[in-house]
Amino acid sequence: MIKQRIIVFLLFASISICKAQLSPKEITILKTDLVKAVESVKLTDSLHNKLSKLPNKTGLITAYIGTLEALKAKHSWNPYNKIKYVKVSLKTMQNAINMDKENLEIRFMRFSIEHYTPSFLGFSKDLDVDRKEIIKHYQNRNFGIADEALIKNVAKFMIDSKRCTAEEIKILKKFI
């Protein structure tokens, strides 16, 4: 009887965990929607609500939520709300990194948020750490689940950001 209860519990627990994991197809759609959300308040809010409701979020899902919080700051007209959303976003991004320290995509998302945040606000404190971590991924060819398009786009963004050294640019150019 106890074994049956344990098996039933594990079955339901694994179903709950699986629900938080998006399929590769869903992740691809989500990435496309995130790009569109840059120009759409409605899509930003919709995606944020959808992802926030997922149970047992992975580091990557948490990072997508953090990115959407940064987009809420972009879309807000109120300076107080802009700052509030950036603070929340960066806290969420730190949580995502704590969950998955070796994920190139998560590091890149935080780097890009801090890159576009005005430096006088003091929120861009992790730019150097993330840049070095991203470069380390390229040096070691450690891309995890990142696809070829993401690897190329991150390298291009990093070069275009003008935040990399000449040596780092040489490493990144190999992937463009």
Give me the tens of pLDDT residue by residue for the chain, a chain 176 residues long. 443 433 333 333 333 334 457 888 898 899 999 999 999 999 999 999 999 999 999 999 999 999 999 999 999 999 999 999 999 999 999 999 999 999 999 999 999 999 999 999 999 999 999 999 999 999 999 998 889 999 999 999 999 999 999 999 999 999 99
> Cα–Cα distances in Å, from 107 out to 57, 119, 142?
17, 18, 13
The closest alpha carbon to 66, from 29, 92, 27, belongs to: 92
Q: What number of other Cβ atoms are within 10 A of residue 19's Cβ? A: 11
**Pair 62, 105: CB distance under 8 Å:** no
The model's pTM is 0.85
**Pair 155, 167: CB distance under 8 Å:** no
